Structure 1
Amino acid sequence: MVKRVLMIAYHYPPMRGSSGIQRTLKFSQYLPQQGWQPLVLSAHPRAYANSGNDQMREIPAEAVVRRAFALDTSRHLAWRGRYVGWLALPDRWVSWCLGAVPAGLRMIRKYRPQVIWSTYPIASANLIALCLHRMTGLPWIADLRDPMTDVDYPADPLTRKVYRWIEKQTIKHCTVAVCTTPGAIKTYETRFPEIPASRFALIENGYDEENFADAGALAAQAAPAQGRPFTLIHSGIIYPSERDPVPLFEALAELQAQGRIDAQRLRVVLRATAHDDYLAGLIARYGIGELVGLAPHIAYRDALSEMLTADALLVLQASNCNHQIPAKLYEYLRARRPILALTDTIGDTAAALRQAGIDTIAPLDSKEGIMQGLMRFLELAEAGKAPLASEEAIAANSRRARTGELGQLLERVAQPAQAAHALQANREEVR
């Protein structure tokens, strides 16, 4: 019997601009090697603010992909830049539920998957999976990645209330809840003490070796830059709260004023931040325009190629995200370049770095700590002595390895359902 899994994911090609795309894309790409056919239920491309075809060829031929009706409330249902608030609860893509639930039912009737799998951070995906699970009785793996809520997240009280309801219903009804960090699992075990610990599973993020092979070919073609300053690159979104760069900018301004760094020694490149206007204002305010530059979004393989050729890579992760690890971190590790991590030393991000053999870590919320950590890092990196990820850590974090973990989880979840279906079929034969 062909084993199939219905994968409900908003982030999927042709969407661009989020590292979260890679988790679902690579799971769907490698699951056929685990004996599972992926049935992907995603959103219509019109819902994506940024789309492109650069990763469409990575969707495997075995995958069945359906793109259900979906709108972005802020772009499609707004009048003069304003829209009714309840049309964006739990998120701006709630209209996707209207198209995805009937589309999912049609896929279930036609292809008869053994398991439903849904993935956050779009809360509507969990709503869709909850509906399909309750309507069909299929086992459900909820790929939560990170906790859906925190004390002050989401910031809007009504949105936070809706999120908490979805989160509670997800944990209550799913067969297994998957998180990407040990800290996230601890958070949920504390938040829902009545739920057995066996309901939670850990599948971390990772990197894709095939993509890096392609990126390596691009990097090899690039001519080495002569006479440029030491280049430190942050690749990806910079959230004003969760990755607040203000202390970093303060530290750079102070070091510049002291004459310890200048544009000939250091260049910080912030690539595809998604908040360029906000950051440009801060860069101007602190007078660090010669040190810090903003760069636009580029194709995924080009971004990986840039990581491979950078002098060093920058991680930003605030203490209010101690139970999260940026998905980009695993690609940084694979790039085998020096890493400067500005994050809480007791958080999961710092723990993952130390486990990989990297100790160039400084607190993101301390100007003085960043000044000290940055200067130490520069001295090590310029001398060729900055620590790099161990080969063991790199190998353990591949997307193929993570998909193997998901394949084992699918087998475990599907077995009781398969036994129940077999029993029902036997009863019908007896009758």
Structure 2
Amino acid sequence: MNKRALLIAFHFPPQAGSSGIQRTLSFSKLLGRHGWEPMVLSAHPRAYGVQNPSQLAAISPDLVVRRPFALDTKRHLGFKGRYVEALAMPDRYVSWWFGATPTGLSMIRRYKPQVLWSTFPVATAHLIALGLHRLTGLPWIADFRDPMLQPSHPTSKRLRAIYGWIERQTITRCRFAVFTTHSALRSYRERFPEIDPAKFLVIENGYDEEEFGRLIEAATANAPAPSAASVSSAGKRTTLLHSGVLYDAGRNPESFLAALAALKSAGKIDAASLRVVLRAPGNIPATQAKVDRHKVGDIVEVLPPVPYRDALGEMLAADGLLLFQGTPFNSQIPAKVYEYFRTRKPILGLVDPQGETAQVLRNAGFTLSAQVDNPAEIGAALERFLPGLRDGSAYVASDEVIAGASRTHKAAQLARLFDEAAR
């Protein structure tokens, strides 16, 4: 291949804690199938507060990866968690810019890529790409996993001004601006009416078929032979799983736990028939305190993070999957929803019906949902959801939905943009 693309991404293995690493990682593995040889400009691992070295095995040995100097202002230049705001403009990893710009220029001179691609967050990634674009004239595709300026973020007036400048420079100078949701795309078209609407496009997140294929193959190979003495499904304890971070606003499990408590008090569920797992919720002690407050600790387990592949395996093993996504996240779609589709498991969405996540679930055929902050509605939804899990009648994603959610499909979309930009 003589078509090369330079991918600029802060979130890349061994960084852990951000689903964003899977987007860049999958593009780095799959673009080659569509005629593009990727290379990655990331940050030195010292900048990552949480690391998962096992993810490094997922990087192709042929992939060119450069990791120039980078610090985390809070950890390396702060004191007891406090730091000077000016040293974290536009973000805590601004020091990455000083190492990444000359390293990026060196990569461009040596490998001669035809396009640049950068992904936000972190804002410094777009700042690096902006500089390389202006210095070299290479066409630039800017990826927005989230909108840069949101009503509640950033909160600092100075930081909002800097974000606004980077955002406008990016939208003005990039060849294409790519978003993961249609609502984000619409908001940018409304905010930048002077820009050609054709510049704005959507490439959603997706799942990695390679990872799922390995897990399914391993599970099949290790599965015990059927036995006449096997316990019947009627006596099986049903497992519900939520995998990922929870927040006090928008992804608060409080109402869900209240619904469980009410069903338990009414004798409709118990620890012998139902197990709920809240995996990697972020603040584990605070989440556990909510579970204890509602007296459902015999049903609900709050568990720490596990490596990515183990998390996928846990999704495949669960009977049903939970998705928390309330009003503050109406313009966002959690990346795991596409992985949920691929598991072919029933999904209960605790969502705002007006949000983009609710729309994606409806479009995929998942019609049963409840307001994330309405215990009565959640309880009623659970009463309809759980019997379907036990008798196998609950809806799962179709082959068509699963195929469209594959990251192979998303990489093909990005490769077509690279082709057009390079022309």
Instruction: Measure how far apart 1:395 and its partner are.
Output: 0.9
Pairing of 1:224-373 with structure 2 (within 5 A): 229-373=237-381
Is the Cα–Cα contact under 8 Å of residues 326 and 352 in structure 2 kept in the other structure? yes
Q: Which residue of 1 aligns with 2:166?
A: 166
How many Å separate the matches in 2 of 1:190 and 1:337? 37
Q: Which residue of 2 aligns with 1:29?
A: 29
How many Å separate the matches in 2 of 1:150 and 1:104? 29
Equivalent pairs, count: 415
Percent identity between matched residues is 51
How many Å separate the matches in 1 of 2:69 and 2:281? 28
One-letter identity of the residue aligned with 2:63: A
Q: Which residue of 2 aligns with 1:60?
A: 60
Instruction: Measure how far apart 1:369 and its partner are.
Output: 1.7
Is the Cα–Cα contact under 8 Å of residues 219 and 309 in structure 1 kept in the other structure? no
Tell me whether 47-56 or 103-112 shows the greater mean CA deviation. Answer: 47-56
Residue 256 and residue 329 in structure 1: after superposition, are their counterparts in 2 closer, same or farther (change >3 A)?
same
Is the Cα–Cα contact under 8 Å of residues 117 and 143 in structure 1 kept in the other structure? yes
The match for 2:400 among 388, 392, 407 is: 392
Instruction: Measure how far apart 1:326 and its partner are.
Output: 0.8
How many Å separate the matches in 1 of 2:394 and 2:261? 24
Gaps spanning 5+ residues in structure 2: where? none
Pairing of 1:92-131 with structure 2 (within 5 A): 92-131=92-131
Partner SS, residue 22 of structure 2 = helix
Instruction: Measure how far apart 1:222 and its partner are.
Output: 6.7
Is the Cα–Cα contact under 8 Å of residues 18 and 236 in structure 1 kept in the other structure? no
Alignment deviations for residues 109-163 of structure 1 (CA, whole Å, 9 cap, x no partner):
2212111100112111111111211222211100112212221123444433332
One-letter identity of the residue aligned with 2:128: I
One-letter identity of the residue aligned with 1:230: T
Tell me the TM-score normalised to structure 1 length: 0.91
Instruction: Measure how far apart 1:228 and its partner are.
Output: 5.7
How many Å separate the matches in 2 of 1:169 and 1:342? 37
Instruction: Measure how far apart 1:302 and its partner are.
Output: 1.4
How many Å separate the matches in 1 of 2:205 and 2:353? 20
Tell me whether 378-387 or 136-145 shows the greater mean CA deviation. Answer: 378-387
How many Å separate the matches in 1 of 2:141 and 2:178? 7
Alignment deviations for residues 17-65 of structure 1 (CA, whole Å, 9 cap, x no partner):
3221111001010111211111200011111122233232322244210
Alignment deviations for residues 186-240 of structure 1 (CA, whole Å, 9 cap, x no partner):
1111111111101111111111111001111343437799766311111122233
How many Å separate the matches in 2 of 1:164 and 1:378? 46
One-letter identity of the residue aligned with 1:258: A
Tell me the TM-score normalised to structure 2 length: 0.93
Q: Does 1:132 align with 2:129?
A: no
Tell me whether 306-315 or 360-369 shows the greater mean CA deviation. Answer: 360-369
Query: What is the CA RMSD across the aligned residues, in angstroms?
Result: 2.0
How many Å separate the matches in 2 of 1:155 and 1:290? 40
Gaps spanning 5+ residues in structure 1: where? 416-431
How many Å separate the matches in 1 of 2:247 and 2:159? 18
Is the Cα–Cα contact under 8 Å of residues 238 and 389 in structure 2 kept in the other structure? no
Instruction: Measure how far apart 1:406 and its partner are.
Output: 0.6
